[in-house]
């Protein structure tokens, strides 16, 4: 079983595309990275193992990447899935 988290990422000016490419190529557990408009530049979705500490993962694997200025993490629970 996995835990989905979403991390909003604010990048250094002019570096959103580089950060997105770096995330999808080099960060474990990344599922998707989207460009966004507004306060943050990117929204990254991660599928983490249940036993992985979310705070440690975000601070060590996301916030330390080059050209990231700020993050905001949303932790999810109880997914609603289509019945197929």
- 12-23 residue pLDDT tens: 999 999 999 999
Q: What is the pLDDT of residue 4?
A: 96
Q: Under a CB-based contact definition with an 8 Å cutoff, are residues 2 and 50 in contact?
A: yes
Q: What is the pLDDT of residue 78?
A: 81
Q: Please report which confidence band the pLDDT of residue 73 belongs to, taking 50, 70 and 90 as the band edges.
A: very high
Going from the N-terminus, what domains does the chain have, and what CATH number goes with each?
A: 2-75 (3.30.70.920)
Sequence-ordered list of residues with C-beta below 8 angstroms from that of 83, at least 6 positions apart, any chain = none
What's the CA gap between 59 and 25, in Å, rounded? 18
Q: Considering the entire predicted model, what is its pTM?
A: 0.93
Percent of the chain past pLDDT 90, that is, above it, reads 90
Q: 81 pLDDT band (50/70/90 cuts)?
A: confident
Residue with the bigger pLDDT between 79 and 22: it is 22
Supply 3's token pair: 């835990």
Q: CB burial class (10 A; 0-12, 13-18, 19+) of residue 38?
A: exposed
């Amino acid at each position: 079983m996995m835990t989905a988290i979403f991390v909003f990422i604010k990048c250094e000016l002019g570096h959103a595309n580089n950060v997105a490419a770096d995330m999808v190529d080099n960060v474990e557990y990344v599922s998707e990275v989207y460009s966004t408009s507004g306060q943050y530049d990117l929204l990254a979705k991660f599928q983490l193992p249940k036993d992985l500490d979310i705070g440690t993962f975000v601070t060590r694997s996301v916030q330390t990447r080059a050209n990231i200025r700020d993050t905001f993490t949303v932790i999810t629970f109880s997914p609603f899935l289509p019945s197929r």
